[in-house]
Amino acid sequence: MRKLTWAARGVAAVSGAMLLGALAMPAAAAHGGPDPKGTAKGKPAKGKPASTTPARPTTPRCSSGRDVSSAVVDYSGSGLFETLFRAATDRQGHAFLNDSRNPGVWINLALLPGAPTCAQETALSATEEDPGNLYITLLGSNGTLYQAQCTTASGAPFTPATLPAACGAGFTPISGTPV
């Protein structure tokens, strides 16, 4: 009976150690085992021909922190008085613009030609005339600054349909960005 007790304790200890190791193992290391689809390390499964489609090129994924900036028109003689413009990025590097005259609408800045595909940070500034200019600056993942100059008008808030016309040429790289 004693031998059976020691054997049971040994099995319990080994099982506990294996469970602890499985929980502590990083997910990337855990997937190093056999492929559930029958292939391992890019080799076709036995009895199956190799795929004839070319491998897709790997593109680096954009990873960005969230960033927010804003600019407000504070000249009381302007029809744009107290208009607030906001820009934000998400973790995938997409940049968005919001015009307080059109609440709840966030416009993807990728609509504009020349926008960086992976925006890291944003900056906004606005002139005080009516119509004035809104300057949108985005920092791309390559360290280059891109700027768009958009014409503002007091009666027309920015929308996805009106922004490309208001911003004309879209984003252009700022030469000599010190990175």
Structure tokens given for 127: 């002139």
Distance CA 146, CA 173 (A): 4
Q: How many helices (H) and strands (E) does the chain have?
A: 3, 8
How confident is the model at residue 29, as a pLDDT? 38
Amino acid at residue number 26: P
pLDDT greater than 70 at residue 4: no
Distance CA 83, CA 102 (A): 10
How confident is the model at residue 114, as a pLDDT? 97
| Chain centroid to CA 81 | 32
How confident is the model at residue 46, as a pLDDT? 57
The predicted-structure confidence for 50-72, as pLDDT tens digits, reads as follows 555 555 555 568 877 889 999 99
Please tell me the least confidently modeled range out of 53-57, 97-101, 162-166: 53-57
Structure tokens given for 147: 């700027």
| Chain centroid to CA 165 | 25
13-38 mean pLDDT: 42
Query: Is pLDDT larger for residue 43 or for residue 152?
Result: 152
84-107 mean pLDDT: 95
134-140 mean pLDDT: 96
pLDDT greater than 90 at residue 23: no
Cβ atoms of 98 and 122 within 8 Å: the answer is no
* Residues 96, 97, 102, 103, CA torsion sign: positive
pTM, to two decimals: 0.65
Band (pLDDT 50/70/90 cuts) for residue 76 is confident
